[in-house]
Amino acid sequence: MTARTEPQDNISAQLEALLGRNSTVDPSQLQQYAIGPFLPAAAAVPADTGQVAATLEWAHRSGVAVYPFGGRTLSQLGNIPTRPGIALDMTRLNRLVDFQPADMTVRAEAGMTVAQLDSHLSQDAKYVPLAPPLAKQATIGGTLATGISGPMRAAYGLPRDWLIGISVVGADGAATKAGGQVVKNVTGYDLNRLYTGSLGTLAVITEATFKVNPAPTQWAGIAAAFADNNTAIQACGELQSRPFAPQALHLLSPTAARRLGNSDIPSGYGPVAVAFMAGRPSSVRRRVTDTALLWLDAASTLHVSGDEAVQLTESLADLPFQQQDPPSVCVRINAPPQALPKLMDMDGCDLAGALPGVMADVGFGGGRLIWWDDLSDADPTAIAEGIAEIQAGAIQLGGDAIVESCPATVKERIDVWGFEPSGMAIMRRLKEQFDPDNILNPGRFIGGL
C-alpha cells in the first residue's frame, strides 16, 4: 500500500483537470464532506459513470483514497478515515434508467434519493420497501452501501432482499455488473448481497435494479402504552403469535416514545408498542380490529391510518438519525427476537451518567439504544468503556452492536463495529482482492478495513 502524499492544492487541481470545474467542488465548500475530524482534500461530483470510472482510475494511479458520499444521512457511520483522500459525491447520478411496471422491476442510478424512487414507483402503484432513515435525502447507493433498513423490515426484508442487479466501479476504475434485470437469478456468485452493506470498501455503486411489489393500498398504525416492560413484552409476544400479527411491531422505552415528538403517542407512562399494518384494506382492517381487541387492557392507545401511519413509520426510521437535535450516541443492536427482554433492560446502560432510550424491533429482532443527553463534556474514556460493555453484551445475546453515532473523541477510543467476526480472515482477503491498494473508504469498516 503505497500512499503518495500530495499537497492538497495539487490534488484539487488534478481533479479539476480530469473532470472539469463543473464536476469538482470549490475548496471552501469541503466542510460538507467532513467525516468527524477528517476533511477530504478535494471533492468530485461526477455527472455519469464515465466520470466515476475516470476518478477512480486516477485515484488508483495516484494512490489517493476515495470516500464515496450519497445523501450524507449516514456519512458518519464507520471508523475515522485512516488516509488522506477525496470525497466522491454521487448525487448527480440520479436518473431513472428503466422502470418496467409489468415486469415488476426498476433500475435507477445510485445517486437518486429513495424518496424520488418512491415517487416514480408510486405513479404506477408500485413499491420497493427500502424505507431508510431520512428517505428524502438518503440515496439508493448510500442505502445499499450502509445496508441500512427501515421499520417495516420484519415483513418486507432488508434492502439486499430487493436488489436484483447492481453496477459498480471498482477500485481500479473498471465498471462491472452483477445480477441482472430478472427477479430470480443464480447465474454466477451473488455479488448483490456482498456489495450491500460493504460501506463502499469494495467498489462504488453506480446503478441498482430492484424487484418491485404492488404498493400497499392501505396503511394503519396502533400505538399502545403498557404499565411496564413485562406487560408490554407479553402483549407483543401474544400479538406476534397470531395470524393477524402486524407487518411491523416495535417497542419503545418511555424516553424513546417521548422523543418521537408525536403528542398523541401515549407517553409518560410505560413502554409504548407501535404496530404497523399495510396491504389491502380488508387485511389491514382485520389486523387493526383484532390487534385493538388484544390490546384492550393497554393503558391508552392511538390509532392512525393512511398518510398519518406512513408518517409515523418515517418518524420511527428517522429518530436515530435526526439532524436537528441529533442523539449524542446511537448504538444499533443486532440480536435475535428472543433477546427482547434483555434489550429493553438496556435502558439502564449508563454512559457517563446518561441513560438511553430503547427502540426494539420486536418482529425482526434487535433495535437501538439512543442517548440524547449532551455528552460533549463527559469523559470520553468512560463513554468508550460503557460502549465496549454494551458491545460485549450484544455478542452474548447472539448478535453484535454497531455504534452508529458518537462524539469524535469517543470514536477514537472504540471500534465502531464492536468485534472481529469468525469470518474476519475471509473479509480481509475480500478487501485485498477488490481493493489491493486500500483506496476505498480506508480504515472505516470492520476490522479496520
Partner 1 sequence: MARPDLLTQIRAVVGDDYVIDHREDLLVYEYDGSVDRSMPRAVVLPDTTDEVSRVMRLAFEAGVTVVGRGSGTGLSGGAITPPDGLQIAFPRMNRILDVDTVNRTALVEPGVINLDLDNHVRQFGMRYAPDPSSQRACSLGGNIAENAGGPHCLAYGATTNHVIGMEVVLENGDVVHLGTGAREAAGYDLRGAFVGSEGTFGIATKILVRLLPMPESVRTFLGIFPDIDSACTAVSAVIGYGIVPAALEMIDALSIRAVQNVTDAGYPNDAGAVLLIELEGLQEEVEEVTQEVESALWDTGAADVRIAEDDAERERLWVGRKTAFGAFGAIAPNYYLVDGVVPRTRLTHMLRKVSEVSDRYGITIANVFHAGDGNLHPCMLFDGREPGVMENAMAAAAELMEECAALGGTLSGEHGIGLEKKEFMPLVYSDDDMAAMQRVREAFAPENRLNPGKIFPDGSYYRPSPHPAALTAGLYA
Q: How many CB atoms within 10 Å of residue 93?
A: 26
Candidates 21-29, 53-61, 222-230, 284-292: pick the segment binding partner 1 (CB under 8 A).
284-292
- Residue 274 C-beta: closest distance to partner 1, Å: 20
- Residue 337 C-beta: closest distance to partner 1, Å: 5
- Residue 447 C-beta: closest distance to partner 1, Å: 8
**Which of 54/245 has CB closer to partner 1?**
245
| Size (the chain), residues | 449
Pick the binder of partner 1 from 96, 104, 115, 294 (CB under 8 A): 104
- Residue 438 C-beta: closest distance to partner 1, Å: 15
Burial string for 370-384 (b: 16+ CB within 10 Å, else e) reads: bbbeebeebebebbb
Query: Measuring CA to CA, how many Å separate 320 from each of 369, 370, 400?
Result: 9, 7, 18
Q: How many CB atoms within 10 Å of residue 181?
A: 15
Alpha-carbon span 313 to 319, nearest angstrom? 10
Site for partner 1 in 41-80 (CB under 8 A): none
- Residue 282 C-beta: closest distance to partner 1, Å: 4
Site for partner 1 in 124-153 (CB under 8 A): 125, 147, 149
Query: Measuring CA to CA, how many Å separate 387 from each of 133, 198, 332, 357?
Result: 23, 23, 11, 15
The answer to the question of residue 356 lying near partner 1 (CB under 8 A) is: no
One symbol per residue from 401 to 430: x for binding partner 1 (CB under 8 A), - otherwise; what is it? -x--------------xxx-xxxxxxx-xx
Phi and psi torsions of 84, nearest 5°:
-65, 155
Count of residues near partner 1 by CB under 8 A: 86
- Residue 251 C-beta: closest distance to partner 1, Å: 15
User: Which residues, in sequence order, are bridge partners of residue 208?
Assistant: 108, 166
Query: Measuring CA to CA, how many Å separate 317 from each of 150, 159, 361, 370, 432?
Result: 6, 14, 11, 13, 34
Candidates 38-46, 175-183, 296-304, 320-328: pick the segment binding partner 1 (CB under 8 A).
175-183
Site for partner 1 in 181-240 (CB under 8 A): 181-194, 196-198, 202-203, 213-215, 217, 237
